[in-house]
C-alpha cells in the first residue's frame, strides 16, 4: 500500500508552464538570395571537375592503364624557359589577381533581398518578389477586359504590362493592384502600362 507521502502530486500549479507559452516568438530573419556567388559556385565546380579529369587521365597514362598522347607534358614544355617578366606571364598574373579579387568581393558581398513581409500575417511570414509578380499577373488577367498581362517585381516597385480591350479598365486594375500590395512591407510602387487596340493608326499604350 502506498503511503500518502509517496503519492505524486499532479495538481497543476497556477502559472506553471505558461511562461514560455505567453512569450512571443522571435520573428525569423527575412530570407535572402545567394547573390552573384550562387552562379560562381557551379562554374568553379565544373572547372575543378575538368581539372580532375585531366589529372586522372595523366595518371592512367603513367600507369599504363590507358594509351594515348599526354596533354600536360607538351603544355609544360611550352612554358619551360619563360621568364617572370615575359608578357604572357604578366598577363596571366594580372588576370589571376583580378579574378581572385572579384571572387572575394562576390563571396562577401551583400546577399540580394527579395522577400516582402506580410502585414498582420504573423511573425516572419514573407513572400518573394517572384510570387508577387505572379499574383499581379493573375490579378490583371482576372480583371474583365484584360486580354493578357505580364509583371516584374522588386522590393521597391511592381511593374505590370496589361493588354486590354479598352482604357476603361485602368481604374479597376489600378485599384486591384493597390489592394494587392497594400499588405506588404515595404510597399512596392505600382507602375501600370495599359496597352489598348490601335485607334486611328496610333498605339493606345498609356
Grid cell for residue 177? 493592384
Cis, bond preceding 65 (omega within 30 deg of 0): no
21 or 68: which leads in pLDDT: 68
Domain presence at residue 12: no
- With bands split at pLDDT 50, 70 and 90, how would you rate the model's confidence at 12? very low
Say which residue the cell 489600378 belongs to: 174
Non-local (6+) Cβ contacts of 103 within 8 A are 40
Are 123 and 184 found together in one domain?
yes
Asked which of 53, 76, 108 is the last residue of a domain, the reply is: 108
Domain edge (last residue) among 85, 108, 131: 108
Residue 6 inside a domain? The answer is no
CATH of the domain at 142: 3.30.300
Same domain, 45 and 98: yes
- Do 104 and 124 belong to one domain? no
Reported as a pLDDT band with limits 50, 70 and 90, residue 21 is low
- Residues 135-159 have pLDDT tens digits of 999 999 999 999 999 999 998 999 9
Nearest CA-CA partner of 126 in 140, 134, 116, 135: 116
Q: Does the pLDDT at position 77 exceed 80? A: no
How far apart CA 82 and CA 102 sit, in angstroms, is 27
Which of 42-51, 68-77, 154-163 has the weakest average pLDDT?
68-77
Neighbours of 87 (CB within 10 A): 8
Which residues have CB under 8 Å from 30's CB, separation 6+? 113, 115, 117, 126
In a domain, 97, yes or no: yes
Q: Which of 108, 140, 156 is where one domain is finished?
A: 108
Q: The domain containing residue 179 runs over which residues?
A: 115-195
When mean pLDDT is compared across 17-26, 95-104, 114-123, 166-175, the lowest value belongs to: 17-26
Which of residues 82 and 5 earns the better pLDDT score?
82
In a domain, 15, yes or no: no
Q: What is the mean pLDDT of residues 120-126?
A: 71
pLDDT higher than threshold 60 for residue 10: no
Amino acid at each position: 500500500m502506498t503511503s500518502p507521502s509517496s503519492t505524486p502530486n499532479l495538481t497543476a500549479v497556477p502559472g506553471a508552464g505558461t511562461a514560455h507559452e505567453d512569450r512571443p516568438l522571435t520573428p525569423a530573419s527575412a530570407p535572402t538570395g545567394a547573390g552573384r556567388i550562387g552562379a560562381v559556385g557551379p562554374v568553379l565546380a565544373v572547372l575543378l571537375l575538368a581539372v580532375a579529369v585531366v589529372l586522372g587521365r595523366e595518371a592512367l597514362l603513367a600507369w599504363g592503364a590507358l594509351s594515348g598522347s599526354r596533354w600536360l607534358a607538351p603544355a609544360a614544355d611550352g612554358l619551360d624557359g619563360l621568364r617572370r617578366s615575359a608578357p604572357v606571364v604578366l598577363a596571366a598574373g594580372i588576370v589571376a589577381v583580378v579574378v581572385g579579387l572579384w571572387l572575394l568581393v562576390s563571396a562577401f558581398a551583400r546577399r540580394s533581398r527579395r522577400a516582402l513581409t506580410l502585414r498582420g500575417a504573423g511573425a516572419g511570414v514573407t513572400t518573394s518578389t517572384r510570387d508577387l509578380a505572379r499574383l499581379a499577373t493573375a490579378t490583371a488577367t482576372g480583371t474583365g477586359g484584360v486580354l493578357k498581362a505580364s509583371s516584374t517585381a522588386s522590393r521597391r516597385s511592381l511593374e505590370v504590362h496589361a493588354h486590354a480591350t479598352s482604357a476603361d479598365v485602368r481604374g479597376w486594375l489600378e485599384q486591384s493592384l493597390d489592394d494587392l500590395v497594400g499588405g506588404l512591407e515595404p510597399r512596392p510602387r505600382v507602375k501600370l502600362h495599359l496597352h489598348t487596340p490601335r485607334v486611328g493608326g496610333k498605339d493606345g499604350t498609356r
